[in-house]
Structure 1
Amino acid sequence: MGKARANTIVANTIVPIAGEDEGDSRLPSRLRKWGSEAHLSSAVARLEALLADRGFERMPWLAVAMLAGIGIWFALPGPGEWLIALGLCGLPAGLALIAMRGDDRALLRNAAVAVPLMIAAGIVLIWARSALIGTEPVAGPRVAVVEALVLEREEQPARDRVRLIVATRDPLDARPIRARLNVPEEMDDPRLTAGAQFRAKLRLIPPQRAAVPGGYDFARAAWFDGLAASGSLLEQPAITREGGGIAGWRSRLAEHVREQVGRFSGTASAAIAATLITGDRGAIPDSDGQAMRDAGLAHMLSISGLHVGAIVAIAWLVVVRVGALFPWLALRVRLPLAAAGTGALAGIAYTLLTGAALPTVRACLAALLVVGALALGRQALSLRLIALAAMGVMLFWPEAVIGPSFQLSFAAVIAIVAFHNSRFVAWLRGKRGEGRGEGRLERLLHAGLLLFLTGLVVEAALTPLVLFHFQRSGVYGSLANVIAIPLMTGLTLPVLIGGLVFDAVGWGAPFWWAGAKSLDLIIALAHGTSSLPGAVLQLPQIALWAVLACVAGGLWLALWSGRLRLWGLAPLAIGLPALFLARPADLLIEQSGRNAALLAPDGRLYLLRNSTSFSAEAMVEAMGKGAQYGVEPFAEFPEWPGARCNGVFCQFEAEGRVLLVAQRPAEVPYGAMVAACARADIVIASRRLPADCQPAMLKADSSLLARRGGLAVDLSNGTTRAVRPQGDRHGW
């Protein structure tokens, strides 16, 4: 009786609350709505708890958001789209402020506001940087006699030339400009150092866009570097005022290092020694440089975090070890603080000595942050510190984000720190701690194993980026670095610096000998590693979305901890197969129309002109054939099966498309030109073709190529990609 009454009371209570009678059909929908709201509230609570538990893992994502904003600015075509992106960033931030007012959702609200605002900050930073320092290129080719002031000089003996950065005036409108000049060895004058003035006949052209889609875009780099033109000398320069200063002193220092090391070794070791001391890379022979890259040792040829960190560490250890020998000094002076100050000064001095290039400055700033953390007794390397360093770089040089130097440097450091903070490394160190009686050999083996595993992780992190930028990557880099990194940091750099110091009293020869022999060993290691079977992974150009998926997955794995990081495997599962399934374009047309590359179904590559020009190299690498370039010649278009060429036209069929190359269209009568175009699907010409020339698919003449740049064509589906996308309104 009591149970039945209780049921009646419950039923009578539900109906008034629902506002319906017992037969109302809307009651289940109301209950479902309450259930969904409960589930939503539970999900929000779980997300809030997740953010609260990961206080040290939230901050690096702000740097990722800023980086994403900069990338969005480069990806979108112009100001209208940039403003829309800024508005879309403000929308979720405003909604979060309105909808999440309670203190129980403070972390989630802050994240929903901070992330879009950091994306917007990235867009604004790069937009402002482009507007403030972007340099308008010269309108067209110029040939004139001008006065110029040398700003920088780069020795490039391996290419039989010298490269100068000069300040001069546009011969047409007399506006001040900066230009990059290539000076042939026979026209060079040793007095052409920074501060020198000369008068000469120059040929200046606008900075060139990428030869093919996805290639290196010098015009974009020149826009941010303040270069309005590039060109060459057409006559011997007449020096009107000699230069001097630190740039000339650096050139003489580089020559001194090459001379001293060259007494005990070959050209390659002497050139790399000069690179390590002064940052001058121009003397490294191409074959040795390529071997270093294929062996995964290319980071040793550019002054980066490895070199700056080694210099700072050497200075730190010298101060700490020497100071510890004198108890009265150690008791009166805080040696860690003194070592930090000495290391910072050494890092700054080394950066200035090597020319203070942007990658070196970034490495120095990161090293200073580490030194500061050590001086304060904080953790030397953490993901928060790396994020802070990245945000500092993006604040001053946001354009660096899309370059390989920034990406590879920070990817390597993030991989190293994330790996060494992982549970696996903690377990490995714990196992070592259990064996406290281990000898020196066991400690060395343990350190070698850890270095090898670190190398594997770094190689895995860098490979998608390296393949995206360079289409080739060394496979055995982790093995080579186990030997090369300790050798470089523990012997080569210290003895080269010792050679400079002891040259003052005439005792530098033993140091130069040791440095030469260690560099010989590194070069031999590079050649041995790069010549192993399967040492080089060569791929065609990779789609941007594929590498972005890999980067997103890698960042998720690195920046989170615990089981949450495993979600990063999802984008990796999408991006990695796309990397290795990438197929090249069927046809590449470089921006001048004077050269093109065509891939046959059997994988053989045909070039319109088989030359060693920069554009030919770019096309060959984009096709995934760079490993063969320069080793064996490629076929030319007339050798294509069934091709019909007469010196004026070259016509053939590929993938069911009729291709027509007009090699000398000016010599063809108007009617014959129009008729030939009508029979073709694609026409390629280095000159402007008549308006009535209407091929079925694509007319790649000088008019189109001047507007859009080089082209990549998929013959099977008829799609075309250009260096300059349709509607692009970036300054360069």
Structure 2
Amino acid sequence: MNILSETEESRGGSIITLPAVQTGPVEAGASPRARLFRLHEAIEIWLAEERHQLVLFAPVALGLGIAAWFTLPTPREWAAAMLLGGALAVFGLQANGLPRIALAAFGLLFALGIGTAWLRAEQVRAPVVERSWRALMIEATVDGVEFRPAEGRTRLLLTDISGLPPGLKARVGIRGDAPAGIAPGARVTLRASLSPPPGPNIPGGYHFARRAWFDGIGAVGYALSGVTVVTPAPPQAGLVRRFEAFRSALTKRLQDGVGGREGGLAAALVTGDRGGIPEDVTEAMRDSGLAHLISISGLHIAVVVGGVLWGTRRLLAQSERLALDLNIKLIAALTAAVAGIGYTLIAGAEVPTVRSCIAVLIVLVGLALGREAISLRLVAAGAFFILLVRPDFLLGPSFQLSFAAVTAIVALYESPLGRRFNAGKEAGRAARLWHGVLALLATGIAAEIALAPIAFFHFNQMGLYGVAANLAAIPLTSFVILPLLGLSVFLGAVGLAAPIDWLLGHALDLLIRVAEIAAAMPGAVSRLPAAPDWAFAVLILGGVWFCLWQTRRRWLALVPVAIGAVGMATAQPPDLIVDGDGKHLAVVRDGKVALLRARAGDYVRSMWADAAGEAISGNLETLPDARCTPDACTARIMAGGRAWTLLATRSGLLIDRAAFEPACAAADIVVSDRRLPYWCAPRWLKLDRSRLAETGALSIWLDGPRIRAVAREDGAHPWARQKPAPEGSRMLRRAPE
């Protein structure tokens, strides 16, 4: 029986012929063994039909292993998961057939993913400070300079720090621009406040400590004094440092040459440094669905490489001798490859840029050989390579957004609908134009569908007019802004970029206006509370299933996609949020987020508002059932069919025991940033400084009740600062009835 579909035969695949198999319904009286045999046959036929797609699941299996390492809390569970993957591989290799081979490959790649993440975390192990210093006089070597004019400060990456462990790196912020002479390789002195990299201020939030671990940063802080250059940067400070100095100088020239918010955007599009982009512009780009333009990825690499490829071929073709004697297609492809690699390095080699560069290099090889290389295999190869080298990228929104968009677009063009767009290329000019408009619209819709759940999961919001905004912004960026940027970079080297910078500023201003108009439209932004991890994972796996399979069984993906979407859409925000030291607390009630302290920073406000899916509405005393003094607050919260009493301190002054002890006894939950005495005994939950040092930040749902703690999610991973409190510890009492 021929098991290849007609489409697969047209692709030139070899035809596999198997003996005829009865695939009808199994008899009612069939034994379990017979049913299992029929199921195995059905799966084998299906996998044979889809055999060209099986290799696409290699990065999926690798990614599942990486995700398992980050999710499971202890080394014992990591080892057990690796053994499970090995057992699946051994079981699969014991017999023939595609199902067993696929199972063996999955097991091996799953175990490889766990081992890769584990090994990477150990390879980057570097010293991390154990405590905070409020004022420490240090002498250090500058390893990197990051200009952030939009924030009015500069970041220095320091190494070889006096008085701290060898090999420790610290990221220190200073006000304003860096003094003259500060460059990679310079030796400086300053007084600074240093502390360990902070963990998330809400479970599931942005985890700077984890990112700092993989970046090798062991301390963060800010300067308390001016920075003095002890030894200027040497002329020959090493290739890497010279290149970093070049990137910093190029960033500074674009920010100053173009000027204003447009200059910050220009620098971001060339070097990937977003420090010059004001927060309002960043929000407008995000709310309008144009944030991907700031992240250097496929669009930017394609324009640069495509422009160099086209320009080189046209230039060489002007000479009849060169056109006849040389392979100008190969020369143009090599030149474009060098341009793509150079742009990737200048842009900082971030995930989308590296992924796009790998993809473009494969495409250029295909073009040089006379073959078409753009396919899902190309995307899978790029994802597999990046995950193998940097498994920590899997958790970042940059990796997820870039690969989701590219996978969706390529899958669209490999589908029957996408082939119709390509068929229009053979028609007349009007028909080609119409097909081009439809293709652009379909591409925008496919990308938005793929990006929506990821944007909701990481940012708890998404711009609803992204397709329309992209229809205007992408041509402007591709055909006007990026070519002007290229001219500005080249002419800036000889001091002749002023006219180009003027034009570039106006073009970037137009791009920003498109973003602001789209972001200001009614209902432009949709917000949701933080979604559960399981719902996001189920939805993403369903989307992967739909994009990678070719037969009608791909539509089975609608089941997990629907389950995940419902889980994300019906997520409930926590009733209480407590940060890792008890200083800040939020009560979420009836669409309002009320803070214990009015002076909570913008970062805390932003993260907690996103998690709740609501804006910060005011202070705790604004709630109807709350009473506050300068020293403490009490509040009654209705949840789970009963009233919960909250008591929280908010000053450093001692409260008289005669008043505080009965208040503790009457409260269900007590939160404090100080160490509370033993006689403060609430009915359910006591969260003071010592207990929060073990748990980290907490999200609390009172309907249940249920607690989510940072320490339990970090487990024994090397960046964890807390050790999770065991079940039944003195932190928790039995929830009152």
Shift in Å, 1:50: 2.0
Alpha-carbon distance in 2 for matches of 1:404, 1:170: 36
Deviations 1:151-192 (A, max 9, x none): 111111111111111113373x64331011111128x41322
Map of 1:144 onto structure 2: 136
Give matches, 1:448-597, under 5 Å.
Answer: 448-503=437-492, 508-597=497-586
Where does residue 661 of structure 1 map in the other structure? 648
Aligned match of 1:311? 304
CA distance in 2, matches of 1:693, 1:304: 55
Residues 1:569 and 1:671: Cα distance change in structure 2 (over 3 Å) = same
Match of 1:241? 231
Shift of 1:672: 4.0
After alignment, is 331-340 or 448-457 more displaced? 331-340
1:78 aligns with 2:71: no
Residue 184 of structure 2 aligns to a residue whose secondary structure is: coil
Give, in angstroms, the shift of residue 136 of structure 1: 4.2
Using a 3 Å threshold, how does the CA distance of structure 1 residues 276 and 329 change in structure 2: closer, same or farther? same
Pick one of 616, 620, 632 that aligns with 2:605. 616
Output one character per residue of 1:573-598: Cα deviation in whole Å (capped at 9) or x when no partner. 10112222222111111112111111
CA RMSD of aligned residues (A): 2.1
2:55 aligns to what? 59
Question: 1:327-726 counterparts in 2 under 5 A?
Answer: 327-430=320-423, 433=426, 436-439=427-430, 442-503=431-492, 508-601=497-590, 603-610=591-598, 611-625=600-614, 628=615, 634-655=617-638, 656-664=643-651, 666-670=653-657, 672-725=659-712
- Within 1, Cα distance between the matches of 2:363 and 2:662? 69
Q: More displaced, 70-79 or 708-717?
A: 708-717
- Of 402-411 and 129-138, more deviation after overlay is shown by 129-138
More helix by share: 1
- Aligned: 1:207 with 2:194: no
Higher mean displacement: 175-184 or 422-431: 422-431
Instruction: Give the Cα separation in 2 of the matches to 1:302 and 1:167.
Output: 28
The structure-2 alpha-carbon separation of the partners of 1:117 and 1:280, relative to structure 1 and needing over 3 Å to count, comes to same
SS at match of 1:360: helix
| CA shift for structure 1 position 414 | 0.5
Distance 1:452 1:591, change over 3 A: same
1:332 Cα deviation after fit = 2.2
Q: 1:418 to 1:199 in 2, by over 3 A?
A: same
Name whichever of 71-80 and 689-698 sits farther off: 689-698
Residue 568 of structure 1 deviates from its aligned partner by 0.7
Change (3 A) 1:486 1:727: closer
**Number of aligned residue pairs:** 680
Question: Could you say what secondary structure the match of 2:429 adopts?
Answer: coil
What is the CA distance between 1:504 and its match in structure 2?
5.8
Q: Which residue of 1 aligns with 2:43?
A: 47
Measure how far apart 1:349 and its partner are: 1.4
Secondary structure, in 3 states, of the residue corresponding to 2:169?
Answer: strand
User: What per-residue deviation string (whole Å, max 9, x for no partner) do you get for residues 647-697 of structure 1?
Assistant: 222112111100001123651234543332111011111111123322122
1:81-131 deviation digits (Å, cap 9, x = unpaired): 111111211222222333x2xxxx432221121101100000000011112
The Cα of 1:225 is off from its aligned counterpart by: 0.8
1:221 aligns with 2:204: no
Change (3 A) 1:659 1:35: closer
Q: Which segment drifts farther, 299-308 or 159-168? A: 299-308
For 1:195, which of 162, 174, 185 is the aligned residue?
185
* Offset at residue 505 of structure 1 (A): 6.5
Deviation at 1:615, TM superposition (A): 1.8
> Alpha carbons of 1:671 and 1:86: their partners in 2 closer, same or farther (altered >3 Å)?
farther
* Whole-angstrom CA distance in 2 between matches of 1:382 and 1:726: 37
Where does the alignment leave 5 or more consecutive residues of structure 1 unmatched?
1-30
Task: Single out whichever of 521-530 and 480-489 deviates more from structure 2.
Answer: 480-489
- Per-residue CA deviations over 1:198-220 (Å, capped at 9, x if unaligned) read 11111110000001011101111
For CA contacts below 8 A with separation 6 or more, give which structure has more relative contact order: 1
Q: Structure 2: where are the runs of 5+ without partners?
A: 1-26, 236-241, 720-737
Aligned partner of 2:154 among 140, 147, 162: 162
Q: How does 1:247-266 map to 2 (within 5 A)?
A: 247-262=244-259
Cα distance in 2 for partners of 1:336, 1:257 equals 33
Q: What is the Cα deviation at residue 374 of structure 1? A: 2.5
Letter in 2 for 1:635: G
**TM-aligned CA distance change 1:702 to 1:322, over 3 Å:** same
Which range moved further: 326-335 or 711-720?
326-335
CA distance in 2, matches of 1:38, 1:130: 47
Are the aligned partners of 1:170 and 1:177 in contact in 2 as well (CA < 8 Å)? no
Worse-matched range after superposition: 660-669 or 339-348: 660-669
Q: What is the alpha-carbon distance in structure 2 between the residues aligned to residue 507 and residue 199 of structure 1?
A: 37
Counterpart CA distance in 2 for 1:445 and 1:260 is 40
Matched-pair contact (CA < 8 Å) for 1:697–1:718: no
The Cα shift of 1:726 comes to 6.9
Alpha-carbon distance, 1:706 to partner: 1.5
Aligned-pair CA distance for 1:37? 3.7
Identify the residue that residue 21 of structure 2 maps to in structure 1. none
- Give the deviation of 1:33 after TM superposition: 7.7
**1:260 positional shift:** 3.2
Asked if structure 2 preserves the Cα contact closer than 8 Å seen for 1:197 and 1:239, the reply is yes
Q: Tell me which amino acid in the other structure corresponds to 1:47.
A: I
Deviations 1:397-420 (A, max 9, x none): 011111111111111111111011
Partner SS for 2:712? coil
Deviation at 1:476, TM superposition (A): 1.1
CA-to-aligned-CA distance 1:533-583 (integer Å, 9 cap, x gap): 111111110111111111011101100012011011110110112222222
Q: Which amino acid aligns with 2:184?
A: A
SS of the residue 2:363 aligns to: helix
Aligned to 1:23: none
Report the CA distance shift for 1:249/1:91 in structure 2 as closer, same or farther (over 3 A).
Answer: closer
User: SS where residue 691 of structure 1 aligns?
Assistant: coil
Report the Cα distance in structure 2 between the residues aligned to 1:74 and 1:615, rounded to whole angstroms: 24
With over 3 angstroms needed to count, the CA separation of the structure-2 counterparts of 1:84 and 1:235, relative to structure 1, is same
Q: Comparing 289-298 with 497-506, which one deviates more in the overlay?
A: 497-506
Letter in 1 for 2:200: A
- CA change 1:726–1:426 in 2 (3 A) is closer
